[in-house]
Homo-oligomer: A and B are copies of this chain.
Amino acid sequence: MNRVYNFSAGPSMLPLPVLEKAAAELVCYGESGMSVMEMSHRSPDYEVIIADAEKMLRSLMQIPDNYKVLFLQGGASTQFAAVPMNLIGKTGKADYIVSGQFSGKAFKEAQKLGYDVRCVATTKDDNFDHVPTVKREDFRPDASYVHICFNNTIYGTKYGYIPDTGDIPLVADMSSCIISEPVDVSKFGVIYAGAQKNMAPAGLTIVIVREDLLDYAQADMPTMLEWKTMAENDSMYNTPPCYTIYMAKLVYEWILSIGGLDEMKKMNEKKAAYLYDYLDGQDYYVAPVKKDSRSMMNVTFVTGDADLDKKFASEAGKAGLKNLKGHRSVGGMRASIYNAMPYEGVVALVDFMKEFAKNNPKG
């Protein structure tokens, strides 16, 4: 087995000890006589697994008791519809900040559904090279919620602050930064995330929702998108994605074993600093994101020459540094260095970058 360093934006690397444990117990889990994949979601063995997953996530993120944790399907894209359908009934309107492609999609989805939503701020004219700075007065005081995407995977930006929305519930898509560092959950009304970056294989979506926000669902919305229905049924209104939840549990367990989110943050900061420090100390590569909006998870850079960018991604791949090509909508390179990427992977990347710069002088 010769494992590569996989810089994919998602699905992405999982911790090796997690994969090894999953492999070891795949055919037969403990004394159950069956695979977790085969377990009835209503069996005692599985009930322990999903309860542990929730307990561990609550412990990791220090989720207050007045928040429900839901294990759902459909990805963040499904939540783009579920958010307004569950919340906009409060006042009939909502505000959005558009800081990249996915927050733009969330905004458009709410428009498609016919709701009164407004884009309060965007950095589109700057190619999303930073996140907007907003203040309380920017929002409609009677908005049902304010929606943001906390970390923008494609552009490599992240909020360096939590927008102050006053009494208006803040709803955040945290798909690409959840459990990468501690976050004060109580500052948010809803946090949601596709699991396939920092948590588990693709096919699981986490929704963390403050209980008082469960009562505004549209009467004629799909039952499966209703958070309240899912909360009342402990995420088992229908069969949940059982095995993917089990994988998430193994990942939570791994993070707890290495010291929780404080330690995870230190490791992630060390990785990101190593890469950004290198970028800042040379002039072959350009990191387009403004410093105060830099993501700790997704680091974007370009050579300034599309052909060289292409050659970079291709040669890096051959050297065991995979999936460094930037998103098709922006080009260049992107190194996603989520929780499971070891420090050694980032060192290997910087070594490769130096070598590539030396061997490929620009015109």
- The residues of A with any CB-CB pair to B shorter than 8 Å are 1-4, 6, 8-14, 16, 19-20, 22-24, 26-28, 32-35, 37-41, 43, 73-78, 80-82, 85, 109, 112-114, 194, 196, 201-204, 219-225, 237-244, 247, 320, 322-323
Do the beta carbons of A28 and B3 come within 8 Å of each other? yes
Main secondary structure of the interface of A (DSSP, over half): loop
Do the beta carbons of B34 and A4 come within 8 Å of each other? yes
Do the beta carbons of A14 and B38 come within 8 Å of each other? yes
What are 12 A-B residue pairs whose CB atoms fall within 8 Å in the complex?
Answer: A3-B28, A11-B239, A11-B242, A23-B26, A33-B322, A74-B224, A81-B225, A82-B222, A201-B243, A203-B241, A203-B244, A241-B241
Query: Which residues of chain B are near A81, meaning CB under 8 Å?
Result: 222-225
- Bound Cα distance from A38 to B225, whole angstroms: 27
Do the beta carbons of B27 and A1 come within 8 Å of each other? yes
Task: Looking at the assembled complex, report how far the CB atom of A346 sits from the nearest CB atom of chain B, in whole angstroms.
Answer: 17
Do the beta carbons of A38 and B13 come within 8 Å of each other? yes
Do the beta carbons of A224 and B43 come within 8 Å of each other? no
Knowing A220-B113, A239-B11, A243-B244 are in contact, say whether A27-B23 is a contact too (CB < 8 A).
yes
- Bound Cα distance from A38 to B336, whole angstroms: 13
Do the beta carbons of A75 and B73 come within 8 Å of each other? yes
Do the beta carbons of B41 and A11 come within 8 Å of each other? yes
Do the beta carbons of B26 and A26 come within 8 Å of each other? yes
Query: Which residues of chain B are near A9, meaning CB under 8 Å?
Result: 40
- Bound Cα distance from A222 to B74, whole angstroms: 11
Contact of A244 among B3, B80, B222, B244 (CB under 8 A): B244
Do the beta carbons of B38 and A12 come within 8 Å of each other? yes
- Bound Cα distance from A8 to B27, whole angstroms: 17
Knowing A27-B19, A241-B244 are in contact, say whether A35-B10 is a contact too (CB < 8 A).
no
Do the beta carbons of A19 and B13 come within 8 Å of each other? no
Do the beta carbons of B34 and A27 come within 8 Å of each other? no
Do the beta carbons of A33 and B223 come within 8 Å of each other? no
Task: Looking at the assembled complex, report how far the CB atom of A106 sits from the nearest CB atom of chain B, in whole angstroms.
Answer: 11
Query: Which residues of chain B are near A27, meaning CB under 8 Å?
Result: 1, 3, 16, 19-20, 23
Query: Which residues of chain B are near A35, meaning CB under 8 Å?
Result: 14, 19
